[in-house]
């Protein structure tokens, strides 16, 4: 005689499977977020996202160069993700440290843009390929996010020589 699972076993599996899936998502998000923030902290913690961008520029561009922050504000349309900043700069100079020239067909300067996340310790650089919005979402969920600010510290098109 063939034996089928009891109704209690089916019910237990029906309840356990979704809980196990949710648990796996929470575990993965916690591990990924904390590991990536740890790596970012090891690379540097900055007083502001703008300070972090200027530090990145120093790593990439050969002297002499001139840099201007063109935009520094939240990456969300409504300003709700105050701890996620996108910073755009304009950089003038002869070449990057790898020897490649600065500028493009449109203008004589580069326009690098980078994400920064506000932790409770300060701002950290987060490469776009590391999914900064994903990490930022979970930072908020797990209470790892700093307060940030909904107002851009450098609004788009607020002056300077950078033209988009």
Q: What is the pLDDT of residues 83-121, one digit of tens each?
A: 999 999 999 988 999 999 999 888 889 999 999 999 999
pLDDT of 157 reads 65
pLDDT digits (tens, 9 = 90+) for 49-92: 999 999 999 999 987 789 999 989 998 888 888 999 999 999 99
Q: How far is CA 31 from CA 2, 19, 36, 163, in A?
A: 44, 18, 8, 40
pLDDT of 77 reads 81
**Domain definitions of the chain by residue range:** 7-141
Q: What are phi and psi of 157, to 5 degrees?
A: 70, 30
Query: Rounded distance, CA 54 to CA 39, Å?
Result: 19
Quick one: which of 125, 104, 113, 132 has its CA closest to 67? Answer: 113
């Amino acid at each position: 005689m063939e034996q089928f699972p009891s109704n209690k076993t089916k019910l237990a599996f029906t309840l356990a499977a979704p809980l196990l899936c949710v648990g796996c998502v929470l575990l993965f998000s916690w591990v990924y977020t904390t590991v990536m923030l740890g790596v970012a902290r090891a690379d540097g913690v900055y007083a502001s996202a703008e300070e972090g961008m200027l530090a990145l520029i120093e790593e990439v561009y050969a002297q002499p160069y001139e840099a201007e922050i063109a935009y520094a504000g939240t990456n969300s349309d409504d300003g709700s993700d105050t701890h996620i900043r996108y910073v755009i700069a304009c950089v003038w100079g002869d070449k990057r440290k790898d020897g490649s020239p600065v500028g493009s067909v449109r203008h004589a300067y580069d326009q690098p843009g980078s994400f920064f996340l506000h932790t409770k310790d300060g701002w950290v650089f987060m490469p776009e390929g590391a999914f900064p919005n994903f990490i930022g979402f979970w930072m908020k969920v797990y209470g790892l996010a700093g307060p940030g600010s909904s107002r851009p510290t450098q609004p788009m098109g607020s002056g300077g020589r950078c033209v988009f």
